[in-house]
């Protein structure tokens, strides 16, 4: 629900702040007072295109912000989360800034947003019905969703969509296989050979690293053994080995300590070196025992390494990328149907098609009943809305192969006058007729529509008397379910509203500005009287206005 709107420097509005309530609100005022400015401002805030001429003369930019309560709207909450545009809890703040050069900026919950995002969010928050504004009811998709909601078949549509996509997936695979079966079969056989070859390697990146390290060690085993033997001999076994000479030096040092105690520090350092050299000798001997030359194992490793290198070369990748090569081969085989043959796949597609058509035909039956009921309700409603003899029809247009939503397209059709053929609602010429038809549709389907705020601009165009009173009561009824705003010039419509706002023009310091006043008590009586009586308002007119409002005269 729309809660708050601020408008700054928009056309002839300087600074306007409005709090909105639930129910039905009427906007009234003299002709030319700018009653539609509020709707134009909301349209701009919700993603409609604008230009520099909308900026009030002499100002740098316009700024419009609309705050909505979305506590009972899980769909828009989920959309905001998906778009990473979540703001304060249960609040959606839409803002549009447009400067006098035509540069536009859009924001949702204080975060920068694209104009498309602003429009997508706006379509879920508010719907404007009028001659000069977008209307969701003109979109075929919106008509289908509305009828399905009216029929109570949302879950059935979801099932049909799932079955359709399964059928289409199998169909695409069959086409892919059958278009060039010979080439596909040759590609499949090559891929199967390649998969067997790569899988036969038993390749894994950790094993490849370990294999290379082990091979390097075995291929240099002789040199490594010579190095270890040389070390043992140099340190311990040769006549002039390090340990032999170190032991001799230690003996002489101990003899010298008797005469000079300061040699003790040198002796302690050499004892430490003696211990570490001895440990190195033990380690080298252990290494000699552990390291053995194994020509047969070395040959096996050489063969395995060569196999990996050859396979990687065939696929023109480094050996480390062979895992990725195998994944691509397996994925492509799945696209080609794996090991399944075309006949089996065609049988699967046939079964999927039967399942889809069975569910879609059941959906069509329920849709047809709902379409007939809505057609009757709307045709009856048109007779009371200054369209006597008019007809409304919900047409189910067959689709040769169906689509993701069933076997038919949904189109709302209307003939506003007797003898006129039914035409698509989107092609109805009269804005007033279109607005009243939209109003009747909203009332008829009020339990299933998802947009919480509805605005009607000039729905009373070309009507008066009893028809105007009917339109007013329809709006009042709709206001019991939705937040409804209506721009009207008819007292019969304004009098039944829960709230009434007056739009007026004033001249301040030579500048024309638009103001909106929330009417209460006598102010509302005076405005209804003005709408009834024109320039001269008599006591009789005021009494009539009070009677229309249901207040004491």
Reading the chain (553 residues) residue by residue, the pLDDT tens digits are 999 999 999 988 888 899 999 999 999 888 766 777 888 899 899 988 888 999 998 899 999 999 999 998 888 999 999 999 998 999 999 999 999 998 999 999 999 999 999 999 998 898 877 654 335 677 888 889 889 988 989 899 999 999 999 999 999 888 877 776 677 778 888 888 888 888 777 767 777 777 777 766 665 555 666 676 788 778 877 777 888 888 888 888 888 888 888 888 888 888 888 888 888 888 888 776 666 655 666 666 677 777 777 788 888 888 787 888 888 888 888 877 655 567 788 899 999 999 999 999 999 999 999 999 999 988 988 887 777 888 999 999 999 889 999 999 999 998 878 888 888 887 764 566 676 777 777 777 765 667 889 888 776 666 677 777 888 888 888 888 889 998 888 898 899 999 999 988 888 777 878 888 889 888 898 888 988 876 677 788 888 888 888 876 5
Give the per-residue SS3 of 485-525.
EEECCCHHHHCCCCEEEEEEEEEECCEEEEEEEECCCHHHH
Unique residue bearing structure tokens 């909105």: 20
Sign for the CA dihedral angle at 179, 182, 187, 188 comes to: positive
Indicate whether 553 belongs to any domain: yes
DSSP character at residue 55: B
Long-range CB contacts (< 8 A, 24+ apart) of 28-34?
A: 28/488, 28/489, 28/494, 28/500, 28/501, 28/502, 28/503, 28/527, 28/531, 29/502, 29/503, 29/504, 30/504, 30/505, 31/489, 32/505, 33/503, 33/504, 33/505, 33/514, 34/503, 34/505, 34/514
Q: Indicate if 113 and 24 belong to the same structural domain.
A: yes
Closest by CA position to 26, among listed 465, 468, 400 = 468
Q: What is the DSSP letter of 52?
A: G
* Same domain for 89 and 49: yes
Closest CA to 426 of 414, 442, 444, 443: 414
CB contact at 8 A, 191 and 332? yes
The DSSP bridge pattern shows strands 499-508 and 511-518 to be: antiparallel
Residue 44 placed within a domain? yes
In a domain, 39, yes or no: yes
Asked if residue 29 and residue 8 are part of one domain, the reply reads yes
What pLDDT sits at residue 462? 62
Residue 130 near residue 85, CB atoms below 8 Å: no
217 within a domain of the structure (yes/no): no
Does residue 456 sit in the same domain as residue 534?
no
Same-domain check for residues 21 and 116: yes
CATH number reported for the structural domain that contains residue 63 in this entry: 3.40.50.300
Residue 81 in domain? yes
C-alpha torsion 282→285→286→289, nearest 10:
-160
- Per the structure, the count of domains in the chain is 2
Number of CB atoms found within 10 A of residue 112's CB = 10
Q: Are strands 483-487 and 2-10 parallel, antiparallel or unpaired?
A: unpaired
Residue 193 lies in a domain: no
Nearest of 16, 81, 74, 25 to residue 45 by alpha carbon = 16
My answer on whether 527 and 501 are in the same domain is no
| 12 & 89 share domain | yes
Residue 15 lies in a domain: yes
Residues 515 and 548 in one domain: no
On whether both 456 and 536 belong to a single domain, the answer is no
258 Cβ neighbours under 8 A, 6+ residues apart: none
In a domain, 169, yes or no: no
Pairing of β 91-99 and β 61-69: antiparallel
Q: Cα dihedral sign for 128, 129, 135, 137?
A: positive
- Looking up tokens 């689509």, which residue turns up? 403
C-alpha gyration radius of the chain: 43
Dist. CA 81–CA 167, nearest whole Å? 32
Determine the structural domain holding residue 72 and report its residue range.
1-134+452-460+483-489+497-519
Residue count of the chain, please give it: 553
Nearest to 363 by CA among 141, 142, 158, 146: 158
The answer to whether residues 515 and 533 belong to one domain is: no
DSSP label of 422: P
Beta bridge partners of 454: 127, 484
Find the helix packing angle between 205-219 and 295-314, rounded to 10°. 140
- Looking at the fold, whether 526 and 456 belong to one and the same domain comes out as no
């Amino acid at each position: 629900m729309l809660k708050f709107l601020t408008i700054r420097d928009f056309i002839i509005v300087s600074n306007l702040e409005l709090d909105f309530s639930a129910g039905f609100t009427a906007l009234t005022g003299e002709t030319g007072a700018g009653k539609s400015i509020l709707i134009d401002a909301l349209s701009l805030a919700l993603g409609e295109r604008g230009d520099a001429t909308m900026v009030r003369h002499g100002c740098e930019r316009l700024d419009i912000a609309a705050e909505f309560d979305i506590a009972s709207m899980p769909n828009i909450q989920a959309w905001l989360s998906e778009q990473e545009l979540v703001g304060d809890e249960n609040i959606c703040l839409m803002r549009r800034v447009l400067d006098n050069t035509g540069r536009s900026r859009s924001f949702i919950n204080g975060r920068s947003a694209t104009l498309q995002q602003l429009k997508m969010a706006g379509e879920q928050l508010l719907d404007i019905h009028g001659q000069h504004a977008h209307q969701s009811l003109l979109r075929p998709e919106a008509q289908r969703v509305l009828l399905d909601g009216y029929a109570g078949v949302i879950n059935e549509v979801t099932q049909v969509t799932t079955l359709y996509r399964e059928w289409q997936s199998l169909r695409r695979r069959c086409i892919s296989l059958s278009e060039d079966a010979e080439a596909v079969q040759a590609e499949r056989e090559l891929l199967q050979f390649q998969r067997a070859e790569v899988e036969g390697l038993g390749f894994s990146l950790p094993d490849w690293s370990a294999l290379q390290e082990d091979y390097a060690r075995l291929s240099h085993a002789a040199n490594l053994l010579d190095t270890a033997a040389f070390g043992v001999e140099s340190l311990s076994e040769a006549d002039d080995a390090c340990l032999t000479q170190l032991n001799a030096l230690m003996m002489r040092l101990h003899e010298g300590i008797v005469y000079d105690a300061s040699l003790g520090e040198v002796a302690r350092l050499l004892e430490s070196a003696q211990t570490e050299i001895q440990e190195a000798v033990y380690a080298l001997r252990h290494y000699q025992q552990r390291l053995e030359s194994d020509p047969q194992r070395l040959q096996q490793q050489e063969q395995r390494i060569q196999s990996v290198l050859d396979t990687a070369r065939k696929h023109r990748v480094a050996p480390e990328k062979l895992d990725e090569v195998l994944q691509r081969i397996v994925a492509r085989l799945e696209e080609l149907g794996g090991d399944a043959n075309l006949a089996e796949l065609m049988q699967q597609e046939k079964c999927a098609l039967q399942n889809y058509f069975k569910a879609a035909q059941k959906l069509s039956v329920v849709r047809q009943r709902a379409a007939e009921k809505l057609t009757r309700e709307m045709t009856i409603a048109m007779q009371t809305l200054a369209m006597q003899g008019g007809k409304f029809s919900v047409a189910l247009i067959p689709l040769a192969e169906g689509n993701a939503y069933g076997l038919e397209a949904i189109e709302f059709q209307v003939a506003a006058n007797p003898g006129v053929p039914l035409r698509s609602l989107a092609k109805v010429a009269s804005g007033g007729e279109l607005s009243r038809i939209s109003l009747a549709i909203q009332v008829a389907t009020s339990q299933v529509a998802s947009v919480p705020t509805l605005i009607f601009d000039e729905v009373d165009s070309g009507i008066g008397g009893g028809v105007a009173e009917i339109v007013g009561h329809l709006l009042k009824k709709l206001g019991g379910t939705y937040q409804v705003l209506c721009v009207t010039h008819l007292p019969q419509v304004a009098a039944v509203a829960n709230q009434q706002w007056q739009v007026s023009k004033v001249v301040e310091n030579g500048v024309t500005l638009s103001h909106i006043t929330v009417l209460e008590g006598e102010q509302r009586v005076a405005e209804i009287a003005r709408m009834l009586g024109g320039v001269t308002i008599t006591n009789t007119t005021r009494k009539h206005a009070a009677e229309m409002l249901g207040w004491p005269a």
